Chains A and B, each alone.
Chain A
């Protein structure tokens, strides 16, 4: 039995937003979020009951992001996010989620960026990621660990990452 779609938006809206923001500039990330949920709403009645909803949504978001990146690949990498001022002082995770993480993740090679976004923001397994990226699980795992290594080298909050991992 399918649950009301409203609950899907409530439960997964944040994860999908974080994934989109890790892949695209702010404006297009928001467009991708909207397109993802509209496409999902359309297709929802046909989704099998036992499907992993978050993996399904991230897969749709991935396609939307790829479309955007094909249309305009340069903007994303060139973009530098402004340092977002702190919404919730004393909550380093909040500051990271508000901008710093995106900045660091966006500097990574595309495949590593995809894998890290889907693994750590989308909550997907490497098996699920390999399906989305049409590659092997081992390759996804390798891109993930390279991505983490890269972040550790270049990101100023490497220590924070150590704490999170």
Chain B
């Protein structure tokens, strides 16, 4: 009997009760400050995005291709396991991303939590925020700007491990020859973002020559 009973899926009545209980639970957990990370998933033209925040600020933006469940597991390990989905959180981040994708916002203004990055990478990632909307820089230029002109590869790694893509625009960093380099969300997404910001962007075609 145990297996059969345990396998009986939730009835509509139970689903309704659980949905209400869950809402109240998240609310209570939030007011008792028991949540280490709250998250929600928002739709965007480049696929579903996971937004996660700590008390300090936005801590992770993740592309669907990264595997949201896997990212949440990493966050549980690195920040803390008290992670809850809270659709009423992260309103500012969700709204600003919406505006960004509709072309009406060029610069994000959000509290950020870069605790997932080492000090050097944090320095690089914050530098990314200075690259103007619609413009690009090379990895070498970014290395120069932070005063470490030889650290080009390390800058590349810092971009590749940017925990807050789009918000900290690592997509605006290209190779010196103008080719795309890499992107956590895939090169298609990188091109799409660059074209959104600058319709004349050539798509990094320099790679072909």
**A interface list, Cβ under 8 A from B:** 1-7, 9, 13-15, 17-18, 30, 33-34, 37-38, 41-42, 44-45, 84, 87-88, 91, 93-94, 97-98, 119-121, 123, 161, 164-165
Residue of B13, B72, B75, B76 near A87 (CB, 8 A) is B13
A33 to B25, CA, bound (A): 9
Q: A34-B24, A120-B5, A165-B1 are in contact. Are A6 and B85 (CB under 8 A)?
A: yes
**Interface mask (B18-60 → A, CB under 8 Å = 1, otherwise 0):** 1001101100110010100101000000000000000000000
Q: A4-B73, A5-B81, A38-B34 are in contact. Are A120 and B11 (CB under 8 A)?
A: no
* Smallest beta-carbon distance B148→chain A, Å: 34
Could you pull out 25 A-B pairs where Cβ atoms are within 8 angstroms? A1-B73, A3-B81, A4-B72, A4-B73, A4-B83, A5-B83, A6-B72, A6-B83, A7-B72, A15-B6, A17-B18, A18-B14, A30-B17, A30-B21, A34-B21, A34-B25, A38-B25, A41-B34, A44-B81, A45-B82, A87-B11, A91-B11, A98-B11, A98-B13, A121-B5
- Does B8 sit within 8 A of A, measured CB to CB? yes
* Smallest beta-carbon distance B98→chain A, Å: 24
Asked whether, in the complex, the Cβ of B25 is within 8 Å of the Cβ of A17, the reply is no
A5-B82, A41-B82 given. 19 additional CB < 8 A pairs?
A: A1-B73, A1-B77, A4-B75, A5-B81, A6-B85, A13-B18, A13-B22, A15-B6, A18-B14, A34-B24, A34-B25, A34-B28, A91-B11, A94-B11, A97-B14, A120-B2, A120-B6, A164-B4, A165-B1
